[in-house]
Structure 1
Amino acid sequence: MRAAYIERFGGPDSIRYGALPVPAIGPREVLVSAEAMAVNHVDRFVRSAAYRTPVTFPFVIGRDLVGTITAVGADVTQFGTGDRVWCNSLGYAGRQGSFSEYVGVPEDRAYPLPDGIDPVEAVSVLHTLATAYLGLCREGSIATGDTVFIGGAGGGVGSSAVQLAAERGARVLASAAPDDFEWVRSCGADEVFDYHNDAIADLLHERNPSGFDLYWDCSGHHDFVHTIPLMAMRGCIIVAAGLSSADPVPTGALYTHDLSLRGFAISNASVEDLRAAAEFINTSFRTRGVNTRIGRILPLKDAAEAHRLLETESTRALGGKIVIRP
């Protein structure tokens, strides 16, 4: 089979495209013929060793895929050949990635793709919707009537978080670049602010003087000195981006207002957490379809170019998610 893989950690130029053996699946695995894969920032963190996780070289990159099962292990009970499935937890913790024509997937990390869902559209939101679900529901315990702020709402995780928060009955204030205002409003934001505005903290306080129940800047640009005073009593600040950040935290205000600062990486999610997120995602697919923006669709042989684009171009410049097709 053809695959995109690395033989050492490094930049996008470390990615090779060539022939590797088709994976030999175990008794609780399925072999999937890949139809579409997505490019995520965490993929480049693993590729460059910025995010440390066990890998075996040659290491196939990538996390997400949609495809069709061509073989099942002897002990698989949930799937059969011909079933269309998706997965969003490959390429780390010792598992090979998804950027190949055939992919071995553990049965408990594969989920059925609902009928009528386009594989390219679906794969573009698997990682972001799961991250949004775990951040808002598991970490933030979002509830109807909450007031939520989502920063960097024009990006994949940000726009997914806006959609989920709005669906859960929250009032959603968000920040984005002006070119993304219409997109963020279409995702369900009640108000959108320009994140370039140096006075955004003052604007947020003016528009929501009672404080936020939940605050999540998905862009990874944290400013806790100005963020914490915007919070309601017992509010929650979520941190799930900004790998190299080292921002000061005014801890006094945390304990005097019963605030929580919750950091999480979806790579640490349990199989049970991911299954709960998958149930939410599939329900969303069945009820409202896929709300997404796709910027580029590239062939598997251009995986290195896809990583280069992700490192050098903004989501706004790309126009949305980069999707790979074998």
Structure 2
Amino acid sequence: MKENRRPAMREAAIAALALIVVLAIPFVHRSPAFEDFVIRLSAMALFATSLNLLVGNTGMVSFGHGLFYGLGAYAFALMMQMTELSLPVAAVLAVLFTAVAALCVGAICVRLSTDYFAFITLAFQMLIYSVIISWQSLTGGDQGLRGGLPRREIFGFELASQLHLYQFCAVVAVIGLLALRHISASPFGQTLRMIRDNDSRTSFLGVVLWRARLWAFTIAGSFAGLGGVLAALFVSGAYPELADWPNSGQAIFAVMLGGINSFLGPLLGAAILLALNDLLARTTEYQGLVLGIVVLIFAVGLRRGVLDFLRRAWPSSLR
């Protein structure tokens, strides 16, 4: 039992050290651009890593995962604008709402074969996106939820301050990633990898495949919703682009760039993708074209994500 706890304790210690470093950086040198980047990365890392719970662990490629990212953002923003709920309560309720939505969508999707599963998730995302655009009285339509969010205090931190928002998002992201890591390393996570590798044999061992896949889908949707909450805090509202299908493509790109078989791969991929987007937006008007070429170079040149490539090249040093 003690031996099983050691890797978890080591990972928690590494995460705590990384968080301390991130939180200490603004006290050494303030950079609004860097703080904005970390806030966006916190949201994107939860989004991409939750998707990899489906893609890397379970072998389920979802083209519509951005649905839950957008739902989390809209649910949180609407509760903050229309109710007197505190920020933590609104955030928790938004994640719970996203979990219920993922449970309902997953109950339909997870019984389908891999190809049909991918496209039916995309169909659900397009459906919800259409509802967001059409229901102007609630969602603001294509203009999104304008008017900002009441930046209420949380544990003494006023999130109207960029520094406090930076600190809050970093803490939430680290806790969320640690939780996903724990799920991935748990017996349930091992069951998901068994399903990915050989679902027939896993079923023969007594695992109810659709139930395990539904749990994975629901958990992944919940953490994507948490990422959406952070995105809503950053943009001080919610916009249809958060729930549109290209946003799902961004998460898939992040997973591919960083590495499907490495837990930290989506985090690295999200950082690379955001940095590339920022760089290209400042240097060229053909941002989409250049980004597509870069992703193609990674896919064809490395034939796997960056961390997967490094682990294959130096297996002994990256165990």
TM-score tier (shorter): under 0.3
Relative to the length of structure 1, the TM-score reads 0.25
Determine which structure has the larger strand proportion and give its number: 1
Determine which structure has the larger helix proportion and give its number: 2
Relative to the length of structure 2, the TM-score reads 0.26
Relative contact order, higher structure (CA 8 A, sep 6+): 2
